[in-house]
């Protein structure tokens, strides 16, 4: 009788483990700049995304802050169980001592969350003697990390796009366009060759599927339209602004091309630590800041993240700021 009982228990365990594995997203790298993520057995009518930004890991003397940052992100993942994680730049500080070790631990941490994490470069990430290519060479070993590039070795840009497939569908439900805002040659903004890349991919996608595939875009440096959005009192906005938009060298071209292509429905950035607002700007695209996530950064509010929901069918994109909640007796470094 005991043998039958143990066999039944093992069978149930193997079944549940198999079901859990089958429910996990599958990441495929189709080309250097093109990924496909297939999602099976979703438990919701939307795709949940946790955006974290400006973690600034590796600042000298701030190791305890970094541990708290990791702990707070882990709690957010436990609270909201996102399907994806977006890291929208300045994961590392400009100082970045022991760059390879820091990057390797970041891979270890995010991979242990067991879900795809998308990364884009911020202005501080390539600094400190451990640049774009060095970080990429560590990140490409990740089981769950998503980071691609296009261009030649001399003109390489770490832009990439992702097709998000639901179940057995042949057509992407969403696409994600990720841009590298560098900087490259001192320019902290999306540059003409990157915009041309996006235009070409958008046109190819529309031709391939005979339809415009809805998309979102992630990058670090905000667009100049973020400032126009905040200045326009006639537009309803969520969140707050405590500083001027640091759009650096952006001249507004990328947003205009987004509108022209008609696929991008929302953009998500970082960079400005004291802005976390969002709203739909002229042209119909939601412009959204992340929510500061790094404990070593001088923050104006408790660190957290942005919770984003993308409808699988019809519906609106959901956006809200979130912070982790801990038991009052829980140790937090």
pLDDT along the chain (333 residues), means of 10: 49 42 84 97 94 94 94 98 98 90 97 98 94 97 98 88 97 98 92 97 98 98 98 98 97 98 98 98 98 90 97 97 92 80
* CB proximity list for 247: less than 8 A, separation 6 or greater: 189, 221, 222, 223, 224, 226, 227
Q: What confidence score (pLDDT) does residue 3 get?
A: 53
- How many angstroms separate the Cα of 299 from the Cα of each of 54, 88, 332? 10, 17, 18
Q: What confidence score (pLDDT) does residue 249 get?
A: 96
What does the block give as tokens for 331? 């140790």
**Structural domains of the chain in order of their starting residue, each with its CATH number:** 26-322 (3.60.21.10)
Kind of pairing between the strands at 84-88 and 318-322 = unpaired
- Residue 226 Rama label (left phi>0; alpha psi -120 to 50; beta): alpha
Paired with 46 in beta bridges are 311
Kind of pairing between the strands at 46-52 and 305-311 = antiparallel
Q: Distance (Å, rounded) from C-alpha 13 to C-alpha 8?
A: 9
Q: What confidence score (pLDDT) does residue 4 get?
A: 53
Q: Coil, helix or strand for 192?
A: helix
Q: What confidence score (pLDDT) does residue 145 get?
A: 98
* CB proximity list for 35: less than 8 A, separation 6 or greater: 27, 28, 29, 146, 148, 160, 161, 162, 163
What's the order of all strands across the beta sheet hosting 318-322?
145-146, 117-120, 84-88, 46-52, 305-311, 318-322
Q: Which of these, 317, 316, 325, 312, lies nearest to 43 by C-alpha position? A: 312
Q: Helices 192-209 and 253-261, interaxial angle, to 10°?
A: 10
């Amino acid at each position: 009788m005991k043998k039958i009982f143990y066999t039944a228990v093992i069978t149930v365990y193997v079944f549940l483990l198999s079901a859990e594995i089958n429910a996990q997203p599958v990441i495929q790298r189709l080309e250097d700049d093109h990924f496909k993520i297939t999602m099976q057995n979703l438990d919701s009518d939307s795709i949940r995304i946790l955006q974290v930004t400006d973690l600034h890991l590796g600042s000298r003397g701030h190791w305890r802050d970094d541990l708290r940052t990791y702990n707070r992100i882990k709690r957010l993942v436990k609270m909201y169980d996102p399907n994806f994680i977006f890291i929208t730049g300045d994961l590392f500080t400009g100082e970045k001592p022991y760059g390879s070790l820091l990057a390797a631990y970041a891979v270890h941490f995010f991979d242990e969350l067991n879900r795809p994490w998308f990364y884009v470069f911020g202005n501080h990430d390539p600094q400190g003697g451990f640049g774009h290519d060095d970080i990429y060479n560590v990140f490409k070993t990740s089981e769950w990390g998503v980071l691609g590039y296009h261009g030649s070795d001399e003109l390489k840009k770490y832009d990439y796009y992702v097709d998000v497939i639901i179940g057995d569908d042949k057509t992407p439900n969403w696409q994600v366009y990720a841009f590298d805002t560098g900087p490259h040659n001192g320019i902290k903004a999306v540059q003409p060759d990157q915009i041309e890349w996006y235009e070409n991919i958008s046109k190819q996608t529309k031709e391939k599927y005979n339809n415009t595939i809805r998309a979102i875009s992630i990058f670090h440096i905000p667009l100049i339209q973020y400032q126009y959005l905040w200045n326009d009192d006639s537009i309803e906005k969520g969140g707050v602004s405590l500083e001027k938009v640091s759009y650096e060298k952006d001249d507004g071209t990328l947003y205009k091309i987004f509108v022209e292509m008609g696929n991008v429905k929302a953009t998500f950035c970082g960079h400005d630590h004291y802005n976390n607002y969002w709203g739909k700007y002229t042209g119909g695209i939601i412009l959204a800041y992340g929510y500061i996530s790094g404990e070593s950064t001088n923050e104006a509010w408790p660190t957290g993240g942005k919770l984003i929901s993308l409808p699988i069918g019809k519906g609106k994109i959901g956006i809200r700021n979130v912070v982790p909640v801990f038991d009052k007796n829980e140790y937090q470094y």
